[in-house]
A = this chain, B = another copy of it.
Amino acid sequence: MELKNDLLLRVAEGKEVERPPIWLMRQAGRFLSEYREVRAHAGSFRQMIANPDFAIEVTLQPIDLIGVDAAIIFSDILVLPEAIGLSYEMIPQKGPFFPKTIEKGSDIDQLHEIAEGSNLEHTYTAIKGVVKELAGRVPLIGFAGAPWTIFCYMIEGQGSKTFSKAKKFFYQEPALAHKLMEKITEASITYLKGQIRAGVNLVQIFDSWAGVLDKNTYSQIALPYIKAICDAIQEVPKTVFAKGAFFALDDLNELNCNIVGLDWHTPIDFALGKVKDKALQGNMDPALLYSKPEQVQEATLKMINAYPKGRHVVNLGHGIYPDLPRESVQEMVNTVKSFTYI
């Protein structure tokens, strides 16, 4: 289907644009009262993902209500470990919890390939539904967690400040760690290709826990698997967002991907010095949206002007916080949409 607004894809492909596109991480989220209503109706976060009707509805909300330039399918990176044999619960106020975790080689052997009719079908169905409803208005982004981030959850079983268990597993059992990373990577490629067949126009890889590693370790245990995914996906453009991995930007520049996401800690000029050939995505501090509309406007313009023309996808440096004022988010979007490159 021909896209009416293909700004995101044009930036990804290095083509000319009149202004940068904007979308926001967690744009389908609790800062919208309409999202909270759907969630209340669905009963839980897991139910919203398991029922494509809910996922379709909240995926479309920020397009209809806020006017961003891309949709991102409502799902969760942890559906992937579930699809290969490690199921999880979402505990209110706490986050994800895996009753069983990977502790030894036999646990890895017990993981299976993605089966027909797995939980991932919910996502594929939701993607098809969103594509139909969007009718070419904006592109749809698919996504997966980066293998290192999925590995962290599969070992730790839950969030952690340090992910020291995951790192301990790597330091003590490097061969097993690589074996697990290979399995996750293979499944991630299958999952992303399934999303692409269902209709997404671009995929983003989220390495949410990149920042618990250092440059050396990241290049050993994390980067080779992101590289494998980027090399395997040729059908659509790719964004890699490795949160906290300022130290790896020069390595990310070498990947076969189109856009590199930046968190808000990374100075834009620093990133431009490392990532020379790709577009960059980000990177306003979500907390800045607590300030007054005129400050939001000023900060948005300052950010846009810090990037070269046509190499920028406007976004936050992290997901929107649930309590951010909707007016501020709208102000940011409006500011971008009123902007024209000279």
Contact = CB atoms under 8 A, between A and B. Distances in A.
A168 B214 contact: no
Majority-rule SS of A interface residues? helix
A285 B317 CA distance: 25
A244 interface: yes
A288 interface: yes
B214 A167 contact: no
Nearest to A292: B172
Interface string A230-271: 000000000000001011000000000000000011110010
B164 A214 contact: no
Q: How many copies does the complex hold?
A: 2
A213 B291 CA distance: 15
Contacts of A246: 246-247, 265
B285 A167 contact: yes
Contacts of A217: 285
Nearest to A295: B171
A215 interface: yes
Contacts of A287: 162, 164, 167-168, 171
Given A265-B211, A265-B214, A270 B290 contact: no
A217 B285 CA distance: 10
